[in-house]
Amino acid sequence: MYPLKFENLYYNKIWGGRDFELFRSNLPEGEIGESWDVACHPHGTSVISNGKYKGTGIDELIKSEGERILGTKIPQERFPLLVKLINAKDKLSVQVHPNDEYAKRVEGDMGKTEAWYVVEAFEGANLIAGTKNCTKEQFKEAIKQGNLDQYLNKIDVEPGDVIFVKSGLVHAIGEGVVIAEIQQNSDTTYRVYDYNRGREIHVEKALEVADLSLKGEKSKGIKIEKEGYSKTYYCLCENFSLEVYTIVSFCMEYSDNERFYIFTCVDGGGTINYEGGSEKVSKGDSILIPAFLGKYELNGNMKLIKSYVPNVEQVKKEVLDNIIR
């Protein structure tokens, strides 16, 4: 086993742009809104770009290697995560995602909880997370009247900000940002309001699943200082854990036979060294650490998002062990 890198899957969007060119040189023509960087979904499946398995789809590799890639605690029937980069030159639709129970019953798919990490923020950059001072009746009427903005909780953002978007939270990505999005492996989205772009909206379903009591805010995180690096725990739920490593020189870690990890580089660069080789890491790269990789080192000057499906109680204990002396 070795750290797996992937081809970027690019998608044109009416609100997209060219800002991925700040750190990538492989963009196709068009207004690129999304790059699916670790994906195993009917709408897009990653292809490995390095090493022995170069050219192999991640779905094929899982069939042949199973738990050696995913881990002993991760079901092989459905890859659990989807990692994207999003470039919004214009604001996205206001939307909401259902929880698993509703999505399975109504759509035959999983629900969607996600988290955003702001990679780039330009003048006026903002995100919408939650609503303010309204009932569902007022919300529905505002959609009809075209004046929903008054009820949306708009948050100005800068690079490094993290926002947890639970299923049921009304949200939107505003203009002027590049976002790393970690989410459940689902494409189930209900548009509430689309600024008269003429696309399909799903008001009734959205209102059924929206929880207007949910509050959106920047995650403060819990930062742990280590020799050579720091680690900040930002989001933890049964679907994923999101942690940010700031590597100053090096960090030595071990893979977990029970689960895989994904590292996404959001600033700087370096290498991942492992028994048998080394992989270069640059801004914008996502790399999957197979469950059975063993010891590896993160070297360089870089900032990495680590995402994975956690043992929640184990992560809680890990945090507490670091802050209680």
Strand partners, 269: 282, 301
Domain 222-323 class in CATH: mainly beta
Residue 66 to residue 36: CA distance in whole angstroms: 22
Q: Give the SS3 label for residue 69.
A: helix
The reported pLDDT for the residue numbered 73 is 97
Q: Give the SS3 label for residue 325.
A: coil
Name the strand (E) or helix (H) holding 216.
none
Which tokens go with 277?
Answer: 């080789």
| pLDDT single digits (tens) 197-235 | 878 888 899 999 999 999 899 999 999 999 999 999 999
Residue 242 to residue 160: CA distance in whole angstroms: 13
The H-assigned helical ranges of 91-224 are 100-106, 136-145, 203-209
Residue 38 and residue 45 in contact, taking contact as beta carbons nearer than 8 Å: no
What tens-digit pLDDT sequence spans the chain (325 residues)?
Answer: 999 999 999 999 999 999 999 999 999 999 999 999 999 999 999 999 999 999 999 999 999 999 999 999 999 999 999 999 999 999 999 999 999 999 999 998 889 999 999 999 999 999 999 999 899 999 999 988 888 999 999 999 999 999 999 999 999 999 999 999 999 999 889 999 888 787 888 889 999 999 999 989 999 999 999 999 999 999 999 999 999 999 999 999 999 999 999 999 999 999 999 998 999 999 999 999 999 999 999 999 999 999 999 999 999 999 998 877 6
Residue 238 and residue 312 in contact, taking contact as beta carbons nearer than 8 Å: yes
Domain 4-209 class in CATH: mainly beta
Asked whether the domain spanning 222-323 has the same topology as the one spanning 4-209, the reply is: yes
Q: Is 68 a catalytic residue?
A: no
Residue 98 to residue 96: CA distance in whole angstroms: 7
User: What DSSP assignment string belongs to 23-61?
Assistant: T-S---SS-EEEEEEE-EETTEE-BB-SSTTTT-BHHHH
Q: Residue 148 — φ and ψ, nearest 5°?
A: -70, -25
Strand partners, 4: 288
Using DSSP bridges, classify how beta strands 9-17 and 32-38 pair: parallel, antiparallel or unpaired.
Answer: antiparallel
Q: Give the residue from 156, 177, 201, 185 showing the smallest Cα distance to 83.
A: 185
**In 88-111, which positions are buried (b, 16+ CB within 10 angstroms) versus exposed (e)?**
bbbbbbbbbbbbbebbeeeeebbb
The reported pLDDT for the residue numbered 76 is 92
| pLDDT single digits (tens) 110-132 | 899 999 999 999 999 999 999 99
Which tokens go with 207?
Answer: 């209102």
* Options 18, 24, 78, 191, the catalytic residue: 191
**In 255-280, which positions are buried (b, 16+ CB within 10 angstroms) versus exposed (e)?**
bbebbbbbbbbbbebbbbbbeeeebe
All structural domains of the chain with their residue ranges: 4-209, 222-323
Residue 61 and residue 53 in contact, taking contact as beta carbons nearer than 8 Å: yes
On whether the pTM is more than 0.85, the answer is yes
The reported pLDDT for the residue numbered 325 is 64
